[in-house]
Structure 1
Amino acid sequence: MSKKLHLVSLGCTKNLVDSEVMLGRLKEYEITDDNTAADVIIVNTCGFIDAAKEESINTLLNLHDERKKDSILVMSGCLSERYKEELMQELPEIDIFTGVGDYEKIDQLIAQKQSSFSPEVYLATESSGRVITGSNYHAYIKIAEGCNQTCSFCAIPSFKGKLHSRSLESIVKEVSSLAAQGFYDFSFISQDSSSYGRDMGLKDGLRDLIKAVEKIEGVKSARILYLYPSTTTFALIDTIADSAIFQTYYDMPVQHIDDRVLKTMKRGFGEEKTIELLEYMKSKPNAFLRTSVIAGHPGENSESFEKLCSFMEDFGFDRFNVFAYSNEESTAAYEMEQLPKELIEERTAILGEIAQACTVRSLEKMVGKTVELVIDGESDEHEFLLSARPLQWAIDIDGEILINDTNDISVEYGKIYEAKVTELVGEQLLATLINEEVESRK
């Protein structure tokens, strides 16, 4: 009988790619959702902020309590990398520790029951053999690791190092291979995607990538996640908008909008230039804008917070995430005077309500429009409803549209259809199919 593997991938989609690489190296194992029956349990951890660290530790300890005798429990990823010395001393429950450099060696580490922390961050190549999870048509493509920015609140460079870009050839080969397998929708990700290629001497690396991906047969749709204000150019915004393949989708975390707070955050770009970029993005036809902000960073007074709230209410983002400031050792903000936790939580809640209202306004604008969407399966809401995602939206984070009328059109999951959005019920869009599978026309 084959041995069984239970893998939990926590944190961001960049972690998910690394988890998929591990699955590719462990294909001889049968994947199981039943952790109590697994011979090997892997938790790919997140170490970004306090809440993520707590989730990672709790997940590991809970799995340890329930695992069967003689099973192997592996802790991998960012949290393991960031606190390797302390964790190896304090968590005797873990059999194997590994960080962010050995995903492709996971089979060897398990066979030898050996911990390992390679000095270099692992970056998948086209030959990684990763197993794509969660979709039969969409895949994430990691284009770089590490980050050259020095944001005051972010610990990522301390354990992932400086920017390290994949070669364009490697990316094109991986996308071509996946497209040949039937994947047609791609999300390109890294810590700072707009800096892609700068470490290799490429002036406009991300624009080069867009043009190269456009030529790959079988790619119908793509988007780029995690642009950075000071490395995003008007030319890049144009290239995305003008592309026949890449969605006019702009995901640029701004974190704040008040000049004084942005300076404290060491964000590189101030309010004026950031707003110029955002306005230019918004000027593009059918543009979709996503961002994120931090509530309660040291130095954020009531005036700067109110300024942030007003901007987020008025600008017209389609989506934005709110993060409560987390005080992380090894960051520049760690020694700064901290705001009270209660105040941070209060401000996070206020911005959360604004974010929810922005999402509803964005959804309202879609009523009556015809959209290209992919049907993913039955909805969790009701067995007679189908869950679908407009191709423009990012998978998992931008929501779903429910199909309540198929118009007697034969439905196949993972295929592209045209649909008319008919109404918004609460915060949920409903739509009717109007055309069978179509080729994406953006």
Structure 2
Amino acid sequence: MTQLFSTKQPKTAKPSFPTLRGTTVNARKIVDSKSAKAYRVRHILLQTEELADQLLSNFRGGDMLFTEVAAQMSDCTLTKEKGGEVGWVDFATASDPEHHLDGLLPKNVREALVPGQGTDAKTGDVLKIESHRGVHLIQLADIMVDVRERGKKRFRAEGNNWRTAVDPSNSGKQLYYSVETMGCQMNSADSERISGQLESMNILPLDEKDEKKAQPDVVVINTCSIRDHAEQKVYSYIGPHAKRKRDGESVSIIVAGCVAEQEGEQLLRRCPEVDLVMGPQYANRIADLLEDVGNGNQVVATAPEYIVEDITKPKRDSTTCAWVNIIYGCNERCAFCIVPSTRGIEQSRTAESVIKECEELVKEGYKEITLLGQNIDAYGRDLSPKRKFSDLLNMIGAIEGLERVRFVTSHPRYMSDSVVDAVASNPSLCNSFHIPFQSGNDKVLREMGRGHTVAKYLSIVERIRNQIPDASITADVIVGFPGETEEEFLDTLKLMETVKFDSVNTAVYSPRPNTPAAEWTNQLDEETKSDRLQRINRLNLQHAGERRARMIGRTEKVLVEGRNVKKPNQVYGRTEHGYLVYFDGTIDELLGAIVDVKLLESSTYSLTGEIVGRGE
């Protein structure tokens, strides 16, 4: 049996990792016949195996979409005009000779899709299967999963009269929700999906200005565990709502995100007032889980799960800029990072689903899209055939009407020259890169398990600066990693002097549970870590100010995103570099517009200017 990770971590300064980096991580093992019910499939019918093999090779090496190839080359007249769309193949009836899809997908093809009986596969994969009709290329476009089978349920303790707002007795009452979001952009995107699900249940967002309804009925705390202090904030947010429930109010308390995945049932033991604990992989299935909560259960949903396509639309926080997830989870095992154990293993969405979402956003009037992934350059490596992130970038950059595309977060180990080439050649792709380096010393990088060297990192920067001299480069860094010497820390400052980043997210190393480095005996004292953080922050502020000061006198295109709350006569937006710019203007006229702004003054992290014209 293959282990996903070792359960024992040696208490030593010597680096040790839960897996041999990526070799035993397999998203295909998540599916089981109990919770997985059906695949939604597309197919291309061909008459020769040679042509099928050629197309598989083309999918691997280019920017071809399955739906487009199906429309051009499939011999199936029933599905060709629909881009090969077949529909759902129910695993329970796959062997039925009278199956309604038998004329499209013969029995042996359907049986090959059943988990545990046919080919190991996951959403996004393209399979080659022969039948009496010919050779089928089958794309697994989506999966139907009964998440209620995956969650652990337990009835409230006997005699406990705490009420949950989603109890059926409240069915005639208008309920209101609030979402508290902590952490990264991925959490922000998850909160938008959670909000969309709640509103599909006719639970409305709480208007904090409405004095008649001062408190939400459904409270969602979407948590982050990347740092210890962020984790501790969770319990302070739960406290007031737990008291409301103990005082007899009808309240549903939901803890989502990374702390939820990390703590699981332990969180219910510490805070028994909580109704639902769910990991980030369940963000778009909260409605299903709340059914069990409404039936009087406490629910813990933290089991590994396939990320299915959203069944409802997210409630976007902006009308101008939108997040689009393209890959979930992470297969890396950095010694300091808890993300792989809280967000799960890598699962890429199909290119078709990503592009469809982007096209719909453009139709709704969105001007800018940020593609999200914990390790975005790994996009497509978990698919079969494999796909490349640069190919997806080129396809998205070609969407008509999409003004700007950004992406985060890149990993130096996987970032390819073709990604830089795509940004350099496509005007829709912003000249902005976020590439964490974490340390400027090779020994520390090895102990962190980063899989790249300082030289590798600098070669990426050199390619960017050679091809796109004006591009902005931002990063993340950790100081005070176990065993880091003063000389090794100075190497980090040296790297920052060499690159001169536009900004760096700086952090002191914080031991996280279930990570190797947390168990090492060579932890640094807090005084040393604090001193290094102050020194690196001073350098970061200096470089950020210098990079923005170079813009004074230039005219840049700025996408207007909102009103300056401190100066209502001003609006703000960003240049394609990601720089924040303030200038006089009326938000009702300018929101979502791209305007030409002459930059007049700079501060550490922003610029001010004046409009000199409207962009095209």
Note whether the superposition's TM-score is higher than 0.5: yes
Deviates more, 1:324-333 or 1:113-122: 113-122
Return the alpha-carbon distance in structure 1 between the equivalents of residues 274 and 235 of structure 2. Answer: 11
- State how many pairs are aligned: 430
Deviates more, 1:41-50 or 1:104-113: 104-113
Q: State the identity %.
A: 25
The answer to whether the 8 Å contact 1:100/1:117 transfers is: no
Return the alpha-carbon distance in structure 2 between the equivalents of residues 212 and 298 of structure 1. Answer: 42
Q: Quote the residue 1:372 is aligned against.
A: 557
Deviates more, 1:61-70 or 1:7-16: 61-70
How has the CA–CA distance of structure 1 residues 39 and 410 changed in structure 2, closer, same or farther, with 3 Å as cutoff?
closer
| CA deviation after TM superposition for structure 1 residue 324, in Å | 0.8
CA RMSD of aligned residues (A): 2.1
Aligned with residue 288 of structure 1, among 467, 472, 491 = 472
Are 1:419 and 2:603 counterparts? no
| CA deviation after TM superposition for structure 1 residue 370, in Å | 0.9
| CA deviation after TM superposition for structure 1 residue 263, in Å | 0.9
Amino acid at match of 2:274: I
- Aligned counterparts, 1:57-68, within 5 A: 57-65=235-243
The answer to whether the 8 Å contact 1:100/1:121 transfers is: no
Return the alpha-carbon distance in structure 1 between the equivalents of residues 484 and 302 of structure 2. Answer: 39
Are 1:327 and 2:507 counterparts? no
Q: Quote the residue 1:260 is aligned against.
A: 443
Return the alpha-carbon distance in structure 2 between the equivalents of residues 160 and 173 of structure 1. Answer: 24
**Structure 1 alignment gaps of length 5 or more:** none
Return the alpha-carbon distance in structure 1 between the equivalents of residues 306 and 256 of structure 2. Answer: 12
Amino acid at match of 2:273: E
Q: Quote the residue 1:301 is aligned against.
A: 485
The answer to whether the 8 Å contact 2:327/2:347 transfers is: yes
Of structures 1 and 2, the one scoring higher in RCO (CA 8 A, sep 6+) is 2
Aligned with residue 412 of structure 2, among 220, 224, 229 = 229
| CA deviation after TM superposition for structure 1 residue 294, in Å | 0.2
Q: Quote the residue 1:433 is aligned against.
A: 611
Return the alpha-carbon distance in structure 2 between the equivalents of residues 37 and 410 of structure 1. Answer: 30
Determine helix, strand or coil for the equivalent of 2:301. Answer: coil
| CA deviation after TM superposition for structure 1 residue 128, in Å | 3.8
Cα deviation code 1:102-137 (max 9, x no counterpart): 22231233343141415234636264411111x111
State the TM-score, normalizing by the size of structure 2: 0.67
Aligned with residue 171 of structure 1, among 327, 333, 354 = 354
Aligned with residue 348 of structure 1, among 513, 521, 533 = 533
Aligned with residue 117 of structure 1, among 285, 293, 301 = 301
State the TM-score, normalizing by the size of structure 1: 0.92
Q: Quote the residue 1:29 is aligned against.
A: 203
- Aligned counterparts, 1:122-133, within 5 A: 123=307, 125=309, 127-133=311-317
Amino acid at match of 2:205: I
Return the alpha-carbon distance in structure 1 between the equivalents of residues 229 and 207 of structure 2. Answer: 24
Cα deviation code 1:178-222 (max 9, x no counterpart): 111111200111110011100114655211111111232221100
Cα deviation code 1:346-383 (max 9, x no counterpart): 21121111111111001101101111112233312322
Q: Quote the residue 2:340 is aligned against.
A: 157
| CA deviation after TM superposition for structure 1 residue 147, in Å | 1.1
The answer to whether the 8 Å contact 1:225/1:251 transfers is: yes
Determine helix, strand or coil for the equivalent of 2:562. Answer: strand
Return the alpha-carbon distance in structure 2 between the equivalents of residues 256 and 320 of structure 1. Answer: 12
Structure 1 or 2, whichever has the larger Rg, is 2
**Structure 2 alignment gaps of length 5 or more:** 1-172
Return the alpha-carbon distance in structure 2 between the equivalents of residues 54 and 324 of structure 1. Answer: 16
Amino acid at match of 1:92: P
Q: Quote the residue 1:78 is aligned against.
A: 258
Q: Quote the residue 2:175 is aligned against.
A: 3
The answer to whether the 8 Å contact 2:433/2:474 transfers is: yes
Deviates more, 1:4-13 or 1:381-390: 381-390
Cα deviation code 1:306-346 (max 9, x no counterpart): 12112213421111110110111211212221011121122
The answer to whether the 8 Å contact 1:101/1:117 transfers is: no
Q: Quote the residue 1:145 is aligned against.
A: 328
How has the CA–CA distance of structure 1 residues 359 and 62 changed in structure 2, closer, same or farther, with 3 Å as cutoff?
farther
The answer to whether the 8 Å contact 1:22/1:103 transfers is: yes
The answer to whether the 8 Å contact 2:562/2:587 transfers is: no
Aligned with residue 312 of structure 1, among 475, 496, 499 = 496
Return the alpha-carbon distance in structure 1 between the equivalents of residues 385 and 493 of structure 2. Answer: 37
